[in-house]
Amino acid sequence: MTLLEVKNLKKYYEISQGLFKPKVVVKAVDNVSFSIKKGETFALVGESGCGKSTTGKTLLRLTGTTSGEILYKGKDLLALSAEKMRSLRAEMQMVFQDPYASLNPKMTIKQILMEPLRVHNKFQPEERLEKILKILEIVGLSKEHLDRHPNEFSGGQRQRIGIARAVILNPDFIVADEPVSALDVSVQSQVINLMLELQKEFGLTYLFISHDLSVVEHMTDRVAVMYLGKIVELVDTEELFANPKHPYTQALISAVPASHPKEVKERIVLKGDVPNPANPPSGCTFHTRCPFAMDICKSVVPALTEIESGHITSCHLYTNNKEEK
């Protein structure tokens, strides 16, 4: 069953180049479509600035949208009043990348976890403390932590508090934006395992945003790869790692460390940096870095096409256009 469907989502920004110069439009999210099934973990991956975090924020309406549709349980989120959206947010929560910045340093853990219950008027006031204690226990913290402030915890513990705050309202859907990238590697797997346990216990659906493909491989069911605001490949996680089609995905996967010492991996090093999104290359926006670029790639935008069952990508290598080289 589809929980969330995104259709032709666009988020453009106008940026000023200075006095007397025309503004330029940055297409942070450009015509993105995907759907997320109930109970699955759907990943958005790509380098910094590819539009994955902006996409996550638009889904919760934490930032505005230029156009497109976001259907959650069949409801068009962009058509909802601010008040209706506010009450729906209890079901749609976010876990942020930086557990240091996302918790108010002046509040105790009890206050941090009480606030969403109060704002959304969940449970009777006398039941709320019991709920907080239960959630703290689930995320591996305890009653003694209630009156402490965020600065008294380690990074991993703070992220556990961030996760507790997200799940305390019994949500159905969580956008997790780089939830482990600010943590030490030794703590990352504990937080990931916690998220997987919570998913099982509460039937959660995740949108998991990450640039770390080894975490994505372990944690997610399907993946959409983004480059300069567009999805360039979308497929089941297992298939993506076994059989990546888009040259950009191939390069990203080649950079994932080998999981076995005997596994030999050939790293594909891309030339140059990600182009300026205010002035993206013509045609396929990846052509300036692609090892397989053809003439057609410079002028014709490749369409997202299902090239194998359930495997979607946008690349002229897999279309008839290849012959026009």
Question: How many chain residues are in contact with ligand SF4, going by CB under 6 A?
Answer: 14
Q: From the list 198, 284, 311, 312, which residue makes contact with ligand SF4 (rule: CB under 6 A)?
A: 284
Q: Report which residue type is found at 277.
A: P
247 binds ligand SF4 (CB under 6 A): yes
Range in contact with ligand SF4 (rule: CB under 6 A) among 100-108, 167-175, 214-222, 309-317: 309-317
Look at strands 311-313 and 230-236 and give their pairing: antiparallel
Shortest separation between residue 281's beta carbon and ligand SF4, angstroms: 9
Q: Are 109 and 139 in contact (CB under 8 A)?
A: no
Look at strands 173-177 and 205-210 and give their pairing: parallel
Q: From the list 27, 165, 287, 311, which residue makes contact with ligand SF4 (rule: CB under 6 A)?
A: 287
245 binds ligand SF4 (CB under 6 A): no
What is the distance between the alpha carbons of residues 165 and 161, in angstroms, rounded to a whole number?
Answer: 6
In the chain, the DSSP E strands lie at 2-15, 24-37, 41-45, 67-72, 75-76, 92-95, 173-177, 205-210, 222-227, 230-236, 305-308, 311-313
Q: From the list 27, 286, 311, 312, which residue makes contact with ligand SF4 (rule: CB under 6 A)?
A: 286
Shortest separation between residue 319's beta carbon and ligand SF4, angstroms: 9
The rounded Cα 196 to chain-centroid distance in angstroms is 16
Range in contact with ligand SF4 (rule: CB under 6 A) among 114-122, 156-164, 252-260, 292-300: 292-300
Q: Are 315 and 247 in contact (CB under 8 A)?
A: yes
The pattern of x and - marking residues 36 through 75 that bind ligand SF4 according to CB under 6 A reads ----------------------------------------
Shortest separation between residue 247's beta carbon and ligand SF4, angstroms: 5
Q: Find all residues with CB under 8 Å of 148, minimum gap 6, and list them.
A: 108, 109
Residues that bind ligand SF4 (CB under 6 A): 246-247, 284, 286-287, 290, 292-294, 297, 302, 315-317
